[in-house]
């Protein structure tokens, strides 16, 4: 009897093996990216005016190769492949959304808020995801669906401590405090940020690049991330998976859970929220 690729995929999703496997892949992509960071990496401008570097391309190549080896035949929608070849006409029932380096602008400036993102999508929603921040050696991931979200420190800096930091620890959104704290993209003006934060019940806000915003809400340090401008689905899918697993929500403008496989894989406005 032959096993279909999606059988293996759904079995590994239900056993938790898939979440661990994609975390390892994202951390290996982080190890590919780090030598380019703060190292005068050449920056090219894509047709949409966004920056791209060798780090983006090398990380995406590693992720695509490893996913194809583990789960052959599953559709992949990845930022650099789409930039080179265009977006697929439609999404399959199961597909991967991959942003090998989210927050490239900050990465090029030498900031720490850039991430590797891998999400497994099923029937229009994220069912597993991992976000890794190479600069701080931090990974956030889902587990078996319904079993929460986890975070760990990884990398060479852990070896002296008998890998104490490398253990996965559960994370959870916090109950909203009296004075909620929002996270916003640096691409938003201060006036717009204050307005967006207030609309979602937050009196204070902070600017942060990349999908890190979802993870900081997932671990209970912030309360909301409103976004009024466009993003691509690979910018949000892994962060949404982690945040939802930690007890949060990501809602589109119509108040419904942000869904995927939309035309050109583009998101409209949304808000990510904790408890
Ligand atoms: N007009 C647009 N359409 C699609 N995505 C956009 C966009 N403007 C910005 N983005 C996305 O927003 C991401 C940056 O978000 P933030 O400002 O929160 O860090 C970028 O990710 P990359 O850095 O991976 O290109 C980019 O993909
Ligand atoms: Mg991105």
The rounded Å distance from CA 3 to ligand 1 centre is: 38
Residue 213 alpha carbon, nearest atom of ligand 1: 18
Smallest CA separation from ligand 1 atom 9, residue: 231
**Residue 13 assigned to a binding site:** no
**Residue 146 assigned to a binding site:** no
**Residue 103 assigned to a binding site:** yes
Q: Identify the pLDDT of residue 62.
A: 98
Spatial CA neighbour of 142 closest among 160, 120, 164: 120
Q: Identify the pLDDT of residue 166.
A: 87
- Boundaries of every domain in the chain: 5-171, 180-273
Residue 51 alpha carbon, nearest atom of ligand 1: 25
**Residue 48 assigned to a binding site:** no
The rounded Å distance from CA 232 to ligand 1 centre is: 7
Ligand nearest to the CA of 113: 1
Q: Tokens for 193, please give them.
A: 């940020």
Q: Does domain 180-273 have CATH number 3.30.870.10?
A: no
Q: For every one of its 275 residues, what pLDDT tens digit does the chain have, with 9 covering 90 and above? A: 455 667 799 999 999 999 999 999 999 999 999 999 999 899 999 988 899 999 999 999 999 999 999 999 999 999 999 999 999 999 999 999 999 999 999 999 999 999 999 999 999 999 999 999 999 999 999 999 999 999 999 976 554 555 556 899 999 999 999 999 999 999 999 999 999 999 999 999 999 999 999 999 999 999 999 999 999 999 999 999 999 999 999 999 999 999 999 999 999 999 999 99
Q: Identify the pLDDT of residue 3.
A: 56
Nearest 5°: CA angle at 170, between 162 and 199?
Answer: 130
Smallest CA separation from ligand 1 atom 17, residue: 185
CATH for 5-171?
3.30.540.10
Q: Identify the pLDDT of residue 7.
A: 73
Pocket test for ligand 1, best of 55, 229, 235 (most atoms within 8 A of CB): 235
Pocket test for ligand 1, best of 45, 51, 101, 103 (most atoms within 8 A of CB): 103
Smallest CA separation from ligand 1 atom 11, residue: 231
| Pairing mode of beta strands 51-52, 44-45 | antiparallel
Q: How far, in Å, are 57, 61, 115, 144, 186 from residue 98 at the CA level? A: 12, 11, 11, 20, 22
Cα Rg of the chain (Å, integer) = 18
- What DSSP designation does 251 have? E
Residue ranges lining ligand 1, Cβ < 6 Å: 50, 79, 99, 102-104, 185-187, 209-210, 230-232, 235
* Those residues with Cβ within 8 angstroms of residue 20's Cβ, 6 or more apart along the chain or in another chain: 141
**Residue 235 assigned to a binding site:** yes
A 10 A CB-CB count for 204 gives: 12
């Amino acid at each position: 009897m032959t096993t279909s690729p999606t059988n293996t995929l759904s079995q590994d999703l239900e056993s938790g093996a898939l979440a661990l496997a994609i975390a390892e892949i994202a951390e290996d992509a982080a190890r590919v990216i780090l030598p380019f960071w703060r190292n005068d990496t050449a920056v090219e401008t894509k047709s949409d005016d966004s920056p791209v570097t060798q780090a983006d391309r090398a990380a995406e190549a590693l992720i695509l190769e490893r996913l194809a080896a583990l789960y052959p035949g599953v559709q992949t929608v990845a930022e650099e492949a789409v930039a080179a070849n265009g977006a697929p006409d439609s999404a399959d029932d199961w597909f991967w959304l991959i942003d090998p380096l989210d927050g490239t602008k900050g990465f090029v400036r030498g900031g720490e808020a850039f991430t590797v993102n891998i999400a497994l999508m099923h029937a229009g929603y994220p069912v597993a995801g991992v976000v890794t921040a190479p600069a701080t050696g931090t990974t956030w991931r889902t587990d078996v669906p319904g079993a929460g979200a986890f975070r760990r420190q990884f990398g060479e800096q852990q070896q002296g401590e008998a890998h104490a930091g490398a253990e996965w620890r559960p994370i959870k959104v916090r109950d909203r405090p009296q004075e909620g704290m929002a996270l916003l993209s640096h691409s938003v003006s201060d006036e717009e940020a204050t307005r967006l934060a207030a609309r979602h019940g937050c009196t204070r806000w902070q600017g942060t690049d990349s999908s890190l915003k979802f993870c900081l809400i997932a671990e209970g340090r912030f309360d909301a991330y409103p976004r009024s401008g466009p993003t691509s689905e690979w910018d949000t899918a892994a962060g949404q998976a982690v945040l939802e697993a930690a007890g949060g929500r990501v809602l589109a403008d119509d108040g419904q859970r942000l869904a995927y496989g939309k035309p050109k894989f583009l998101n409209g406005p949304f808000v990510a929220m904790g408890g």
